[in-house]
Chain A
Amino acid sequence: MTQPLLKVENLQVEFNSRRGKAMVLNGVNIEVQPGETLCVVGESGCGKSMTALALLRLIPSPPGKISGGRVLFHGEDLLTASEERMRQVRGNRISMIFQEPMTSLNPVFTVGDQIGESLRLHAGLNASEARTQAIAMLKQVGIPAPERRVDEYPHQLSGGMRQRVMIAIALACQPDILIADEPTTALDVTVQAQIFDLLRELQREKGTAILLITHDMGAVAEMADRVMVMYAGRIIEQGTAEQVLERPAHPYTQGLINCLPELGSSLQSERAELAEIEGMVPSIWELDKACAFRERCTHALEKCAQEAPPMFTLTHSSDTAPHMTACWLQLQQTTDQGQAA
């Protein structure tokens, strides 16, 4: 395997408040290869967005703090880099698309100004060059009549177009990594399909790696090369899209996939009740050293309440890439199989 573009080691983020210290991220490890799409999935409050913000050191501080770990980008640790160096990285080498296209654009600047801003800052273009480049970017993301749209304000655009503008801003400097935090949650499915097509196409042309944060398993199946499932600030399963979606190992991942209503359900039989995951995500204040999912888990063992399970690699005859999970049950089964064989 080539040298990873981004390597996150044991990333820890804590929030301090009067109630004490809460671990929002608890030892997150990520590797992103050039040109791949890595999806991060999980319910709200499990640390997906926090991970994205921590990579760019955008965690509001105080109350938040990155309390440990390393974020190696091309081998350089971004957590110890100067603020000036970070400004060179953000929006230039690593850029981000946020969930809400309505609120993440500045309403008092034209679209062209906002796309041109990163080009003037990072690529050193002058105003007219930046404008020409902005028009080219708008065209690339599929906005009709870019010469006219470049002088329009965000309120004159529809939600889908605004998200395209966000993508144009993010891709203006041809970043190595694009972090997309639920980029289509606020959009209609037909527009979502257009945005996904656009991201795939741009990725193919420019070789940008995409870190896609989502809670939509369908989107994962469509976009991901590899998937990471997060729960309560920890990664609990990771593997290729096929491994995680077709053979989910962690009970939480299994629950997430089973509780989805699937298209085509009316063709099979009587309306079946959807599988549920009982309960809800524990509050970050209630987390302890043990497995955070044990309260909702139907297979919980005694050991689950005592110690957090380590991340280990599952062995499966057809695996070419590692499929890893953090679950005592799976670990036990894997070791049993190992002894039997």
Chain B
Amino acid sequence: MTAASTDTLLEVKDLHVHFPRAKKGWFQPAEVVRAVDGLSFSIQRGTTLALVGESGSGKTTTALAVTRLTPLTSGQIQLGELDLGQLEGEALREARRRFQFIFQDPFSSLNPRERAGAVVRAPLDLMNVGTPEQRTERVAALFKAVGLRPEHQNLFPHQFSGGQRQRINIARALATEPELVVCDEPVSALDIAIRAQILNLLVRLQRELGLTYLFISHDMAVVEHICDEIAVMYLGQIIERAPRQAFFANPLHPYSVALMSAVPTVTGGRKRAAQRIKLSGDPPSPINPPPGCRFSSRCPVAEPACSQAAPPLREIAPNHWVQCRRVDVVDGRIQTPLSFPSL
């Protein structure tokens, strides 16, 4: 199988990741956590796709599945010409240089006993990139690229601040010149003033190196700043996918609208809080997701039919996909059941 078009870097089709739980009794069937349940998306080379959603919606599991760090239940993952979903053993290990991961927590993702220089050098040694002298040069170049000083190579992680540690993480991820970088909440553990520095760094590196990001976050403002395309996840499924401007100008799915309205803003203040669309309760468990639309139990505009059958993901406008039976196009205009006035 070849990629859909030449500039599609990552193509995921009907991805399922299920985790079986221990049986509760001898004759009971084992319960299954449907963490990711039928996900399809693609990312163009050099662009950023953001995955957003609440905790437990399957964002991180998707990231782990795409980087083959968790077993797949079913589905296809295509990275360029490579059928990533089928690779095993040494071939998979060799392929890992093409995709790397930036983790959320800058404190636990670095070995406390390893010096910063060695952390960044490790992928080069493991992947046998260049000669040892070239690796030393490459580490120095990476430190410069992420805004660390050369003498920082000799320090241990505890001697760095959170922002600097995230820079080390970024340098390590970039060491093997990957095409795809998966960023799992790279700034949510950082202070607001440091967040801007790291976001600017990620944008700059993307521009200079032509990187492709799968960017996971729950912060809508951060996502709006960094993404080219956005996919909103709810309970293991993508419920809306759209280009950046189309989504933020006009989110269609009731959950996307509620999610946007929940974000407090400096300019909106109390007025915004008063107009907020309130969602009651918590998302249902992914063990036995409700039949029909998974959001129907919390949806303020749900109809009885919503909980009967699951709606398909439909393309409602060019590249704007939504999974809601109440969103429709009437006379060329998109009709949404729910909208937020001051967005």
Contact = CB atoms under 8 A, between A and B. Distances in A.
Q: Which of B54, B163, B191, B220 has the most CB of A within 10 A?
A: B191
A215 B163 contact: no
A196 B273 contact: yes
Interface in A179-205: 188-194, 196-197, 200
A218 interface: yes
B262 interface: yes
A263 interface: yes
A43 B193 CA distance: 7
B224 A197 contact: no
B267 interface: yes
Interface in A34-72: 43-44
B269 A241 contact: yes
Contact of B263 (A158, A189, A197, A271): A189
A160 interface: yes
B197 A189 contact: no
A216 B191 CA distance: 10
Contacts of B200: 273-274, 276
Given A190-B54, A192-B262, A275-B196, A222 B273 contact: yes
B68 to A, nearest CB: 28
A89 interface: no
B278 A194 contact: yes
Given A222-B272, A241-B269, A260-B221, A190 B259 contact: yes
B278 A193 contact: yes
B221 A262 contact: yes
Contacts of A191: 54, 282
Contacts of A221: 264-270
A: contact size bracket: 35 or more
Nearest to A259: B196
B279 A190 contact: yes
Contacts of A216: 192, 264
A310 interface: no
Contacts of A219: 264
A281 to B, nearest CB: 8
A276 B161 CA distance: 16
Interface in B170-229: 191-197, 199-200, 203, 218, 220-222, 224-225
B270 A222 contact: yes
B270 to A, nearest CB: 6
Contact of A273 (B191, B203, B220, B273): B203
B253 interface: no
Main SS of the interface on chain A? Answer: helix
B196 to A, nearest CB: 4
Q: Which of B222, B249, B263, B273 has the most CB of A within 10 A?
A: B273
A261 B221 contact: yes
Q: Which of B192, B200, B220, B245 has the most CB of A within 10 A?
A: B192
A257 B221 CA distance: 13
A226 to B, nearest CB: 14
Contacts of B281: 144
A274 B199 contact: yes
A274 B192 contact: no
B121 interface: no
B225 A218 contact: no
A158 B220 CA distance: 22
Interface residues of B, number: 45
A262 to B, nearest CB: 6
A188 B56 CA distance: 10
A108 interface: no
A277 interface: yes
B55 interface: yes
A245 interface: yes
A261 B193 contact: no
A30 interface: no
Nearest to A283: B161
A146 interface: no
Interface in B269-301: 269-270, 272-273, 276, 278-279, 281-282
A1 interface: no
A262 B267 contact: yes
B156 interface: no
Contacts of A220: 266
The 6 tightest CB contacts between A and B, nearest first, are A218-B264, A261-B225, A259-B196, A221-B269, A274-B196, A193-B262
Interface of A: 43-44, 144, 158-161, 188-194, 196-197, 200, 215-222, 241, 245, 255-257, 259-267, 271, 273-277, 280-281
Given A193-B261, A222-B272, A260-B196, 11 more contacts: A43-B194, A159-B55, A160-B282, A188-B54, A222-B269, A259-B193, A263-B260, A263-B265, A264-B248, A277-B196, A280-B194
23 contacts: A44-B191, A161-B282, A189-B54, A189-B220, A190-B259, A190-B262, A193-B262, A193-B279, A197-B278, A216-B264, A217-B266, A245-B269, A261-B199, A261-B222, A263-B224, A263-B248, A263-B260, A266-B248, A267-B249, A273-B203, A274-B196, A274-B225, A276-B197
